[in-house]
Amino acid sequence: MAGESSPRDPESGPRAPEGRPRDLRGLIAFSWLWVSAPLAYGVYELVRKATQLFTG
């Protein structure tokens, strides 16, 4: 068991083949865009339709 990292070890995350921690910033940015773009469009449509509803 020597040399194995425990599940709570912060260094036990995903690693590149060389043993360095992977750089996941691009994936994280893409994921935020994937979720926030449709969310922003939905909020825009909600405000637009609510405006129509209350202003006639």
Spans of all domains in the chain: 23-55
Determine contact, residues 11/5, Cβ cutoff 8 Å.
yes
Cα–Cα distance between 13 and 23 in angstroms, integer?
11
pLDDT tens digits in sequence order for the chain, 56 residues long = 555 555 566 666 667 677 777 789 999 999 999 999 999 999 999 999 999 999 97
Cα–Cα distance between 21 and 14 in angstroms, integer?
6
The sign of the torsion formed by the CA atoms of 35, 38, 42, 48 equals positive
pTM as predicted: 0.57
Would you state the pLDDT for residue 20? 72
Would you state the pLDDT for residue 41? 98
Cα–Cα distance between 16 and 24 in angstroms, integer?
11
What are residue 47's phi and psi, to 5 degrees? -65, -40
